[in-house]
Amino acid sequence: MRYILRKVLFYGVALWAAVTLNFVLPRMMPGNPAEILLARFKGRVNPAAIHAFLIAFGLNVHQTLFQQYLSYLGQLVRGNMGISITYYPEPVSQVLAQALPWTLLLIGAATIISFFLGTLAGIVSAWHRGGWFDSFAPGVFTLTSSFPYFWFALLALYFFAYRAGWFPLGEAYSGTRASFAISNWPDLMYHTALPAFTIVFTSIGGWLLSMRNNMITTMGQDYILMARAKGLPRRRVMYQYAARNAILPNMTGFALSLGFIVSGALLTEIVFSYPGLGYTLLQAVQNEDYPLMQGTLLLIAVAVLFANFVVDLLYVRLDPRVRNE
């Protein structure tokens, strides 16, 4: 219980830090952001929206910084993140609500596949130490994980989609069929396969190597020798004795590197014009759409925090020592 309380406290503070950073950043902008933004808005927006916008950006001169902060928090709690300039008059929250499922689909699927395959490959590699798999896999995947995601994604796009025509050239669905209905899944899979593959291919090496090292350390333990001496089936020793204990550091690594994975995957979205958060962020940047940019950053940060929190809770299930703390 103490463990969970500590975690809740930590994620509370982290969330506060992300939200506050989001408040502080635009206010550190050189020059007067109000003028830039108002110039862009002129003639397109009604006065009420401008007022809401000014408040959201803390440009309300009648308030102190602290009052601005409070009203910013108040707006945020109500889900109000301002109005997007690019998609005017859609509110930022709505733009993000449309983009989020795509990112969850692509990055979620790719990350989980990569984690499982990589961890499994690490177990096999360590167990058959010096075997054929162990002599090429770590090296090959060290190399692939050193290449930038987007570079590899562009090559894959060129060869497998442009030249071979096996995959679509981008986007997440055909035409306007942006639905998650079961009948639409083949089309979604067809579009998600290549970007997901590039993410898996470039991120699998990290899991493989760290799992391999954990496994090797664990396999030196006495209880493994004991299990073998007892004559337990090889598979049982491998998965339930060695791997089960070796996976804990990998789980922590999984949670902590989510931020890094998300960063790389955002670039993949950009390469494939995949309509998720990364693509939205790029559009916001190119159109100087500050409210959308802020909102996207905040949502990405919150999503990563949430995923970390979930992994921490899973940890309680996996590591009994934490439960008894």
Partner 1 sequence: MIEKVEESTASQPTTVPAPRNSWSAWWPGFQRFLGNRKAAAGLVIVLVLVALGVFAPWLTSISPQAQSFVPLRPPSLAHPLGTTAQGQDVWSQFVWGTRASMTVGFAAGFLATAITVIIGMLSGFIGGIGDEALQMLTNVFLVIPGLPLIVVISSYFPFQNNWPLIVIIALTSWSWGARVLRAQVLSMRELPFVEAARMAGERTTAIVFRELMPNMLSLIFSQFLFAVVSAVLTEAGLQFIGLGNIDAVSWGSMLYWAQNDSALMTGAWWWFVPPGVAIGLFGAGLSLINYGLDEITNPRLRARVRRQKRGRPA
Binding site for partner 1 (CB under 8 A): 10, 13-14, 17-18, 21, 25-26, 28-30, 129-130, 142-143, 145-152, 154-155, 158, 162, 209, 213, 216-217, 220, 256, 258-260, 262-264, 266-267, 270, 281-282, 285-286, 288, 293-294, 296-297, 300-301, 304-305, 308
| Least CB distance to partner 1 at residue 272 (A) | 13
By C-beta, is 227 or 270 nearer to partner 1? 270
| Least CB distance to partner 1 at residue 226 (A) | 18
Euclidean distance between CA atoms 148 and 217, whole angstroms: 30
| Least CB distance to partner 1 at residue 129 (A) | 6
Burial string for 247-278 (b: 16+ CB within 10 Å, else e) reads bbebbbbbbebbeebbebbbbbbbbbebbbbb
Q: How many CB atoms lie within 10 A of CB 132?
A: 8
Instruction: Decide: 271 and 150 in contact? Cβ < 8 Å.
Output: yes
By C-beta, is 173 or 250 nearer to partner 1? 250
Q: What is the sign of the dihedral through the CA atoms of 272, 278, 281 and 285?
A: negative
By C-beta, is 191 or 212 nearer to partner 1? 212
Helices 244-256 & 109-127 angle (0-180, nearest 10) = 140
Give the single-character DSSP code of 163: I
Strand, helix or coil at 52?
A: helix
| Least CB distance to partner 1 at residue 256 (A) | 6
By C-beta, is 30 or 43 nearer to partner 1? 30
The full length of the chain comes to: 325
| Least CB distance to partner 1 at residue 263 (A) | 3
By C-beta, is 188 or 211 nearer to partner 1? 211
By C-beta, is 79 or 220 nearer to partner 1? 220
Instruction: Decide: 274 and 97 in contact? Cβ < 8 Å.
Output: no
| Least CB distance to partner 1 at residue 324 (A) | 21
Q: Return the half-sphere exposure (C-beta side, CA atoms, 13 A cut-off) of residue 286.
A: 9
90: buried, middle or exposed (CB in 10 Å: 19+, 13-18, 0-12)?
A: middle
| Least CB distance to partner 1 at residue 79 (A) | 20
By C-beta, is 101 or 259 nearer to partner 1? 259
Euclidean distance between CA atoms 119 and 141, whole angstroms: 13
